[in-house]
Chains A and B, each alone.
Chain A
Amino acid sequence: MFRNFEFSPSRLVTALVMLVLGGATVFLIFSKTIPIPEKDIASLIMLVGALIFYAGIVVIFSLFENETVMAISLILPSIVAVAIFVYGFIGWSVRTSMSQWKGLNPDYTPAEPLLKNYITLLTHDPRFAVDVRNTAVFTMLFITGCIVIGLGLAILLDQRLKGETIFRGIFLFPMSISFIASGVVWGWLMNPATGNRITGINLIFQSLGLDFLISRWHTTPPPLGMAFTAIPAIWQLSGFTMALYLGGLRSISDDLREAARVDGASEFQIYRYIIMPLLQPVTLSAMIVLGHMSLKIFDLIVAIGNQDQRLDVPGIYMWNTTFRGNNYAQGAAIGILMLISVAVLVIPYLIYSMRTEAEL
């Protein structure tokens, strides 16, 4: 390991200068010894200081002249950041969720019993029960809608029709719009007014003589109302699902289809017995990506629902109870329950993909 170790005094001095300079910058700004009125500038100088400090550490690692050591020193900040911001913070949230923290000042006195906040949420909190039901409705419809439409579009576009690029673009572009912007527009399209105030999509239905389709949309009495909030979400992400499936379809070799045709299989049979089974990994990936999105949905419902209690989801409940109601302990418990629901979905998937990759 040290066969290449070469003591280079100049590099060591460089490293020390960087450590001192960077460390001093961070300290002077952090302790406000040098006051800087514009807060963003102060933050920026502090970040640059931290970066110089870290560069000093890298220079010290470089003294070893060992490339694996070098590699590890360069990935270290990412590891530390993820360790703190993901795992450390999850641990901190768990601790908060088992505490009595209510009000602005942190209070980590353990709750009595320890899981009190969880028990309350899961057994006698009608609002959380509504949230769970709403999330279930939304998730089911959102995933099913995206997969069915996405797969359908991918198969249609796989027929090498003219104008494929344009269609692809049209189906994909809603993905680029924020949930907030799309919620604002869809809130208008799904205007529930009836009679002479009828408007939005309902107005189109009326003028086409399709009166039976006129709907109260997301203001339909629960739990059906929640189902309509999935429409904008499907509009946004079915194109993304289509792109995933198209990628899968394009990776299936034409020889395979040709061979099936030679054996006398119809186009339908080719899709049913050859292509669909080969697309299963794509379906799995799509379900994971879409599933974790819908379990933590927040902005879209905020924009459409506008604090409508019937359209409440855990993400909004967590927000309200924590930052409006200052009930930090309960907010943390909701956050951790959301995490558990995602982890149940994602961890088996991560293990599965690590295993299959290891076999390759």
Chain B
Amino acid sequence: MISRRTTINTVFYLILLALALFYLLPIYLLTLTSFKAFSEVDLKTMWSMPSQGLHITNFIAGYKQLAPNFGNSLVMVIPEAILSSLLGSLNGYILAKWRFRGSNLLFAGILFGMFIPYQSILIPLVKFMQFVQLYGGLPGLIVVHIIYGIPITTLIFRNYYAGISTEILESGKLDGAGFFGLYRYILFPLSAPSFAVVIIWQFTQAWNEFLFALILTNQTKWPITVALNNLAGSQLVQWNVLMAATLLAALPTLLVYIFLGRFFLRGLMAGALKG
């Protein structure tokens, strides 16, 4: 019996290992190529290790190409993630604990915004942003990301707060806490898991987003995704430099996942994202 279990486990491990290799393949190639000299970037030797030393210069060249855009992305993403999680938390608190007539219908109405293809609102969005003079720069892009992030952030916080017993809040009320007191002293200190999920989610989404960035910003304010796509399509850049640039562009979100991924996963597995 035990040996049978061991055999099964070995088979499982082999499957997992094979899949893990498949999942790591693109990152392996990316890292490999970004350290190679240009003369080594050849079709035949694509998978060979770099033989002429590690060319850190690729990263410097790649960074030079994308530095302003990297900065734009940071300037956009950090306030976006913080503001959108605060807003989501407030909305979630109200929709979970201060239900009023029609609040469930309202929630469904907000939730629908999460699923719309943005192509269906793109033309009015551009015209509207031009009209309110928020077109072309980063503040406008931040506002747009926060607004279209309202459904998902509200959903995550509402589901999380719905799981916190109302009795705690009732006892808080007896102690004289009001709307803000209950939030400040009871719910907010308990919110760390959902803040982790929302901040990581919004950070990644905004960092990786392409469509809004492409259409709402001028070339000088392009975030990294738009600039990277432009670089990749330009044909003028060397492959090793492009791969180094791609790695740099993916690095912030990769680091977030590597170091904070388990908080995200924990929140995700706790059902935070299930509708």
Contact = CB atoms under 8 A, between A and B. Distances in A.
Nearest to B204: A176
B250 A189 contact: no
B208 A177 contact: yes
A156 B15 CA distance: 9
Nearest to A352: B275
A331 to B, nearest CB: 6
B113 A86 contact: yes
A199 B47 CA distance: 9
B262 A350 contact: no
B134 interface: yes
B241 interface: no
B67 to A, nearest CB: 17
A318 B122 contact: yes
B124 A96 contact: yes
Which of A173, A303, A331 counts the most B-chain CB atoms under 10 A from its CB?
A173
Contacts of B261: 169, 172-173, 176
A332 B122 CA distance: 8
B198 interface: no
A14 interface: no
B3 interface: no
Interface stretch (B50-58, B145-153, B187-195): B145-153
A354 to B, nearest CB: 5
A301 B121 CA distance: 20
Interface residues of B, number: 98
B127 interface: yes
Interface of B: 9, 12-13, 15-16, 19-20, 22-27, 29-30, 43-44, 46-47, 87, 90-91, 94-95, 98, 100, 104, 106, 108-113, 115-125, 127-128, 132-134, 136-140, 143-144, 147-148, 150-151, 154, 178-179, 204, 207-211, 215, 221, 225, 228-229, 232-233, 239, 242-243, 246, 249-250, 253-254, 256-258, 261-262, 265, 268-271, 273-275
B90 A74 contact: yes
A178 B136 contact: no
B271 A93 contact: no
A302 interface: yes
Which 10 pairs of residues, A with B, have the shortest CB-CB distance? Answer: A178-B208, A296-B117, A247-B269, A89-B121, A199-B43, A339-B120, A335-B120, A92-B124, A43-B139, A71-B98
B19 A153 contact: yes
Binding site secondary structure of chain A: helix
A358 B108 CA distance: 12
A179 B204 CA distance: 11
A335 B122 contact: yes
Contacts of A281: 274
Interface in A339-358: 339, 342-343, 346-347, 349-351, 353-354, 358
Given A181-B249, A298-B211, 15 more contacts: A46-B133, A75-B95, A93-B123, A156-B15, A178-B250, A180-B228, A181-B208, A182-B26, A203-B47, A244-B274, A302-B229, A319-B119, A334-B119, A336-B120, A338-B117
B100 A71 contact: yes
A78 B154 contact: yes
Interface in A26-68: 29-30, 39-40, 42-44, 46-47, 67-68
Contacts of B151: 82
22 contacts: A30-B133, A43-B139, A72-B100, A78-B150, A82-B113, A82-B147, A86-B121, A156-B12, A159-B9, A159-B12, A172-B257, A172-B261, A179-B210, A185-B26, A185-B30, A199-B43, A199-B46, A203-B47, A285-B274, A296-B119, A303-B232, A318-B119
Contacts of B44: 199, 203
Nearest to B20: A170
B127 A185 contact: no
B250 A177 contact: yes
A114 to B, nearest CB: 18
Contacts of A153: 16, 19
A282 B274 contact: yes
